[in-house]
Amino acid sequence: MNAPDPKSYQARPDLLAGRVILVTGAGDGIGRAAATSFAAHGGQVVLLGRTTSRLESLYQEICAAGHPEPGIAVLDLARAQGPAYFDLERQIRERYGRLDGLLHNAGILGDRAPLEQYDVGTWTQVLHVNLTAPFVLTQVLLPLLRASADASVLFTSSSVGRRGKAYWGAYAVSKFGLEGLSQVLAEETQGTTRIRVNCLNPGPTRTRMRRRAYPGELPESRPEPAAILAPYLYLMGPDSAGITGQSLDCQ
Ligand code: NDP
């Protein structure tokens, strides 16, 4: 059978049944839509974010829809230190014993400014939230991913993470870094573990971040997060077994 086109992939209703999947930045935008869709396909999602009220409202939505009860992990990736990461690892281990999916989605835009004027503090913060935090989270959770029969790690890239663009500063550099992190981890896990590692570029999507980056754009001209999720489901589920080290587009 030919591999499906990830953009037009049609997920069966129980695609993620029994899978435990952590989604970062789950409170809003693409992360919220992805977590909702994973749960709707049977996944047991762990909702990670920094704003408790957003996570709680999503928790209620998912429960009200009759999907598997999610977990909530309040963690500010800009501030969290080692113990908070290990605490998260312990909670997942005690509740589920393993992790089958890890979607690194949380991200911040930083400034849109030329490098000559780019604020160094903002640079450090963007690199930390967008790149260092996903590295640390992955490192801490690798033993739980190893305990899965089929684990999928997804990093969220961007078109400016593949071809640098003026004024995208630390955001672009952080996404280049994520593409590299994904490739390195994919090689390190290939052949010796059952973990696969890939990057996804959502493409222009109607979210808060998009509105901040393009204030003059008509929001309706871009798809809603729920409309771009086919590749997320494809890479998170068993139909993409064997695919690792790739960087795919959602649009
Ligand atoms: P949003 O700004 O709409 O949502 C980002 C989410 O990340 C929010 O839930 C936010 O939490 C969370 N987050 C931000 N900082 C932290 C932190 N320090 N700790 C924990 N959580 C945090 O962004 P999008 O949905 O648009 O973007 C999602 C991903 O997709 C990002 O990685 C982005 O770079 C990427 N992307 C988006 C594109 C688009 O057009 N939208 C295009 C290409 C890539 P809170 O709710 O508390 O603010």
User: Which of 51, 130, 207 has most ligand 1 atoms within 8 Å of CB, for mutation?
Assistant: 207
Q: What is the pTM of this model?
A: 0.98
Nearest CA to ligand 1 atom 23: 209
Domain boundaries, the chain: 14-249
To which residue do tokens 């204030």 refer?
215
Task: Please tell me the distance between residue 111's alpha carbon and the centre of ligand 1 in angstroms.
Answer: 14
Alpha-carbon distance 83 to 174, whole Å?
24
Question: Which distant-in-sequence residues (6+ apart) come within 8 Å of 194 by Cβ?
Answer: 146, 148, 149, 150, 151
- Asked if 9 is an active-site residue, the reply is no
**Residue closest to 37 by CA, chosen among 196, 210, 225:** 225
CA of 2 to the centre of ligand 1 (A): 33
- Rounded distance from Cα 223 to ligand 1 centre (Å): 16
> Which CATH superfamily hosts domain 14-249?
NAD(P)-binding Rossmann-like Domain (3.40.50.720)
At residue 1, the pLDDT reads 59
Selecting among 171, 214, 232, 234, the annotated active-site residue is: 171
Q: Is the dihedral of CA 128, 130, 135, 136 positive or negative?
A: positive
- Mean pLDDT for back-to-back runs of 10 residues, the chain (251 residues): 86 98 98 98 98 98 98 98 97 98 98 98 98 98 98 98 98 98 98 97 98 95 98 98 97 96
Measured by CA distance, the residue closest to atom 2 of ligand 1 is 209
How much is the pLDDT for 3?
78
Q: In whole angstroms, give the CA distance from residue 22 to residue 20.
A: 7
Q: Which residues contact 11 (CB under 8 A, 6 or more apart)?
A: 41, 230, 233, 234, 237
